[in-house]
Amino acid sequence: MKLKIVKFKSVKSTNDTAIKLIRSDKCLLGLVSTESQIKGRGTMGKKWISHKGNIFISIFFKVNFLKIKIENYLIINAKIIKKILLEYTKKIIKIKKPNDLLIDGKKICGILQEVITHKKEKYLITGIGINTKVSPLNKDFKSTSLKINTNIKINNEIIINKIKKNYDQLIYDLNNHNSLYVKKKYK
């Protein structure tokens, strides 16, 4: 089963949009992508500043927390995105638990995980914001962008497709291998 990409010009929040798609039964396995996000959310109710030109996506799929605990998904999500961003920069990318990726101590990516129950099934929604082209100003933390840290031309569609490919593989692994295999592979 592969993720269906659902594109929008503008949404309030990609996670909220994913939740609506699940609850309406329109799509139960997908990747929401948008050019503009008006009310992006971070952890603990913080606002995610969404500058046009950056990546705003949410990936959602059914999960079984008896196989893999939610805390492991936090690690898996960060490692998948880190691996992709390392294709664009030679700089060290650090994972700041629970949900940020940093270059030189500056935030380049934020990840928000949410779980909902729909028709007695659990769904994991993973919102990912990547500063690919613009680094937002924020009084609470310093940020950076991929563009500042690379000489490689950045194409958001290519990065989104790489993310989709990695999550398609993760979902395949979750459905076809035991949890120990998945934990080792995404260690």
| Two structure tokens written together for 155 | 């194409």
**What integer pLDDT is reported at residue 49 of this predicted model?**
59
4-11 sheet: strands from edge to edge = 4-11, 30-37, 55-63, 121-130, 106-118, 100-103, 93-96
Blockwise average pLDDT, block size 10, the chain, 187 residues: 92 95 95 85 60 91 88 92 96 90 94 95 96 81 90 95 97 89 83
Q: CA torsion, points 177, 114, 39, 89, in degrees to nearest 10?
A: -40
Q: Residue 43 CB: number of other CB atoms within 10 A?
A: 15
**CA–CA dist 124, 131 (Å, integer):** 23
List the domains of the chain with CATH numbers: 4-185 (3.30.930.10)
**What integer pLDDT is reported at residue 45 of this predicted model?**
57
Beta bridge partners of 59: 31, 126
**What integer pLDDT is reported at residue 46 of this predicted model?**
61
Residue pointed to by tokens 């989104």: 160
**What integer pLDDT is reported at residue 147 of this predicted model?**
94
Helix (H, G, I), strand (E, B) or coil at 90: coil
Q: Residue 91 CB: number of other CB atoms within 10 A?
A: 15
Torsions phi, psi for 140 (to 5 deg): -85, -25
Q: Residue 44 CB: number of other CB atoms within 10 A?
A: 6
**CA–CA dist 129, 137 (Å, integer):** 15
**What integer pLDDT is reported at residue 186 of this predicted model?**
82
Q: What residues contact 157, with CB distance under 8 A and at least 6 apart?
A: none
| Two structure tokens written together for 117 | 């129950």
**What integer pLDDT is reported at residue 44 of this predicted model?**
53
Q: CA torsion, points 159, 162, 168, 170, in degrees to nearest 10?
A: -100
